């Protein structure tokens, strides 16, 4: 591999090192997109694992490129930039459409940081449940006890599963597992013995990580850590006063009536601009929504400026492109309304 350019503060390519990003108050985005050059022996899953990306992520970012034979010298786009989910930023957050797990905590110097890992989640018949839970138990070298429903499904396909699979290279849980406090106790965050599938919607409801990523997370996370499991396929966020949009495909087997449409997109943008008003480039927003490639894209034409940043005072009632400068009752300037037209 010949890495050419990637996110700021890039690390030497190492499977054992997680992506750790410092966080500031109000920060909505982490990472920076980049690219690398494939060599003759590379596959896209090889490159994905090297850069802590998932199977579906790297495929969506490189349409038209063969997953198994990208070609020597081919430029490969690395989607290493992510809008953070709209939720409390503490503990573990899993956003299923992202195919990513986020871990929010303070580092050894008590600075707020975020780590992020690609994951596999539940397939069509074994959906990963949504909601708030916690880490109930940690297990090193776990034994896998496949539920009866899983054994029955494998039996239908001519594959007889034993009632238990001991630790070792044939154990699909890998070397580390963290059991979630979801009733029934069947849901885990764990490793895998087939890392090529990380980043796909293929599990029986569990959350699966690369072996090196689960080991890193396992060593950092304590029992009782809160875990939030979300389904946010439309994400918005602010970077230097500009509004960004990130959209992912809906999860498999989602009821068509529950799939977000352009009305849901409009609601998300309106919610994001309630207190920060900008002119929205709706043509770009609709393109990002239709493509659903999972990459943050700027959708505001102008940039929101906080009142404290306005240096030259204007006369009472005078307007600027960022809104009226007439103070409101609480002394703040009233922002201009979002341009909701599609023209």
Catalytic residue among 52, 105, 206, 248: 206
* DSSP string covering 245-295: EEE-PPPTT--GGGS--HHHHHHHHHHHTSSS--BB-HHHHHHHHHH----
Structure tokens at 14: 């190492």
- 3-class DSSP state for residue 134? strand
Residue 154: C-alpha distances to residues 128, 159, 202, 244, 307 (Å): 19, 5, 14, 43, 61
Do 114 and 100 contact (CB within 8 A), yes or no? no
Catalytic residue among 105, 190, 204, 248: 190
| Integer Rg of the chain from CA | 22
- 3-class DSSP state for residue 243? strand
Alpha helices in 157-248 (DSSP H): 211-220
| CA-wise closest residue to 78 among 18, 14, 34 | 34
- 3-class DSSP state for residue 149? helix
For the question of residue 204 being annotated catalytic, the response is: no
* Active site amino acids: 190, 206
């Amino acid at each position: 591999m010949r890495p050419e350019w990637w996110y700021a503060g890039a690390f030497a390519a190492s499977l054992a090192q997680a992506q750790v990003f410092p966080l500031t108050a109000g920060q909505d985005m982490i990472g920076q997109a980049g690219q690398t050059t494939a060599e003759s022996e590379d596959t896209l899953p090889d490159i994905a694992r090297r850069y802590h990306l998932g199977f579906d992520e790297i495929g969506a970012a490189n349409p038209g490129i063969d997953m198994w034979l990208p070609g020597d010298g081919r430029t490969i786009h690395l989607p290493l930039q992510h809008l953070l989910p709209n939720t409390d930023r503490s503990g573990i957050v899993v956003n299923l459409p992202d195919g990513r797990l986020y871990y929010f905590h303070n580092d050894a110097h008590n600075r707020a940081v975020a780590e992020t890992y690609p994951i596999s989640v539940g397939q069509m018949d074994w959906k990963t449940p949504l909601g708030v839970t916690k880490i109930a138990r940690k297990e090193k070298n776990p034994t896998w006890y496949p539920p009866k429903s899983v054994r029955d499904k494998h039996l239908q396909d001519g594959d007889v599963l034993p009632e238990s699979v001991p630790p070792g290279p044939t154990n699909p849980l890998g070397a580390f597992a963290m059991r979630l406090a979801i009733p029934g106790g069947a849901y885990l965050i764990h490793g895998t013995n087939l890392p090529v599938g990380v980043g796909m919607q293929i599990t029986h409801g569990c959350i699966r990580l690369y072996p090196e990523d689960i080991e890193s997370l396992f060593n950092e996370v304590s029992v009782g850590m809160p875990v939030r499991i979300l389904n946010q396929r439309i994400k918005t966020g602010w970077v230097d006063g500009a509004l960004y949009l990130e959209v992912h495909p809906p999860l498999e087997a989602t009821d068509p009536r529950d799939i977000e449409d352009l009305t849901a997109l409009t609601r998300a943008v309106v919610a994001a601009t309630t207190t920060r008003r900008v002119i929205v480039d709706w043509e770009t927003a609709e393109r990002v929504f239709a493509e659903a490639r999972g990459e943050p894209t700027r959708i505001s034409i102008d940039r929101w400026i906080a009142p404290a940043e306005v240096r030259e005072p204007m006369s009472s009632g005078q307007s600027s492109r960022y809104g009226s400068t007439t103070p409101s009752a609480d002394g703040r300037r009233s922002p201009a309304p979002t341009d909701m037209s599609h023209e």
